[in-house]
Amino acid sequence: DASLMDKIVSLSKRRGFIFQSSEIYGGLANTWDYGPFGVELKNNLKRAWWTSNVHQRDDIYGMDAAILMNPKTWEASGHLQSFADPFVKCPACSNFFKFDKIWDEIWNSDWCRSLVETMEGAKDTAVLIKWAKSKGKDLAPNLSLVKEPAVTISWIAELHHKFAGVNLDFKNFMGRIAASADGVSRIPCPSCGGILPENSMPANLMLETYFGPVRETAQKVYFRPETAQGMFVNFTNILDSRHPKLPFGLAQIGKSFRNEITPGNFIFRTREFEQMEIEYFVRPEESDAKLKEWIEARYQWYIDLGINKDNLRIRPHDKGELAHYAKACSDIEYEFPFGWSELEGVANRADFDLKQHASFSGKDMTYYDDASKQRFYPYIIEPSGGVDRSILAFLVDAYHEDIVRDEKRVVLRFSKALAPVKVAVLPLLRNRPEIVGLAKELSHDLKKDMVAVYDDTGAIGKLYRRQDEVGTLYCVTVDVQSLEDKKVTVRDRDTMQQERVEISQLKTYLLERLK
């Protein structure tokens, strides 16, 4: 449902979750700013992660490393040599595509979909010829291979002709378009269907800047592309300052930067983003079991915070898909409106990182085991998630359109922990100073214990709708009667039940329910 993404983007802007960055200047491509509710949501998400992974465990230590590190770090990590995605640029429409994703992109492209639909419905090749004409492509009636880009289409058409009536595996055939009948490689552009160049270019994904005011003599440094390295290089500092025993971990939340070739899908893939990563050090022989534990723990974390189980899955990587250093890896994926995509990767990185840093720094980065009197390199299990991607998943998952008394009601059903606002205090009549005064007084008092807002900028129906759209858990309404009976109406976001509650009991009532 592509329009769901549009609704999320528009609600995010309308209600103050996420804005296009530097919008007054036309923005900066794929760069976003978190507004008043967005920053609350993001902080709640990060707090939930920190609480369950640092505060509620005995074996994990928090960290906050610098974004800019000694460039040797990136030699040791391999990022300077091989942190590159081969890509191609279409000469016709100037779009960029990642080489290893190109068949997926072609398969998902509009022109390919429409081609396949046509073919599936086509009884004979005449339909295809008509379709090709409607796309402005010259498809020869005899289906001989003619000039580009008709080659691509005629090649598929010929296959269709040959296998007419047979259930074709179109994806497989699409993958073979590259070598068409005349032996020349032709890859269609996923955007415009034109012909892409044969050779890809590698792109380094590291963003750079300079230390020192004079460019000529300045030192080139890199914005970290992951927070992980800040934890690996501090391994011995943690051993010396905290004396932990295996297994133990480090945890960090922070910004990372990648010069992505194909950023997009709102905050899903951007060049500046935030990660939440754990580096968990284990004995090599227990690494398989610990990897399994972490995959399950991280999957469960999303469910506990409110993600619907049906929209979340664990996908183990194939051997060919693994990064060169990884022994095994599983992705936790969410079903976004644009398809199943990675939220978090949980990898067994073996002893690659500590060995590399030991070799590049000349420092001893082994662990000394008291019991066996042996030194060795621990293995590392790494759960690495994206803050912004999670925010998008939680926004999508929380979005609901209900029909209430024949009217559409948009509500974000965030879990208690994530809801940016816990309670809104609303005066029923905004021109009655005693009601307004009491409502303001109540909201000030509630603010000491929870995130509470006061709003009197509309009629009550409108105020409720606004609070529903940001996922506020409770609305407290002060009315004329409140002045006499010292009670207010509390409305529950999800059940929409209303209850009269004694003002003197209000805070206890709410705190009880927010637990």
Residues in the annotated binding site: 98, 226, 258-260, 268-277, 342-343, 382-389
CB-nearer residue toward ligand ATP: 247 or 386: 386
Cα dist from 98 to 90, 239, 331, whole Å: 11, 41, 20
Residue 332 CB, nearest approach to ligand ATP (Å): 8
**Per-residue exposure over 386-414, b if at least 16 CB sit within 10 Å of its own CB, e if not:** bbbbbbbbbbbbbbeeeeeeeeeeebbbb
Which residue's CB is nearer to ligand ATP, number 83 or number 399? 83
Q: Which residue is nearest to ligand ATP (CB)?
A: 386
Between 269 and 487, name the residue whose CB sits nearer to ligand ATP. 269
Nearer to ligand ATP, 152 or 330 (CB): 330
Both ends of the chain: CA-CA distance in Å? 35
Separation between Cα atoms, residue 132 and residue 207, nearest integer Å? 43
The sign of the CA dihedral 385, 387, 389, 394 is positive
- For ligand ATP, the closer CB: 20 or 118: 20
CA angle 297, 302, 307 (to 5 degrees): 145
- CA–CA gap between residue 358 and residue 196 (Å, rounded): 43
H/E element, 460: helix 460-470
Q: Minimum Å distance from CB 329 to ligand ATP?
A: 8
**What's the 3-state SS for 102-142?**
HHHHHHHCHHHHHHHHHHHHCCCHHHHHHHHHHCCCCCCCC
Residue 338: CB atoms within 10 Å: 15
Which residues are annotated as part of the binding site for ATP? 258-260, 268-273, 342-343, 386-389
Instruction: Please give the residue ranges that form the binding site for ligand ATP (CB under 6 A).
Output: 226, 258, 260, 269-270, 273, 275, 342-345, 384-386, 388-389
Q: CB of residue 381 vs ligand ATP: minimum separation in angstroms?
A: 13
- Min separation Cβ 26 and ligand ATP, Å: 22
Q: Closer CB to ligand ATP, residue 37 or residue 273?
A: 273
Q: Which stretches of 274-386 are DSSP H helices?
A: 287-304, 352-361
CB of 333 to ligand ATP, least distance (A): 9
Minimum CB–partner distance for residue 387 and ligand ATP (Å): 8
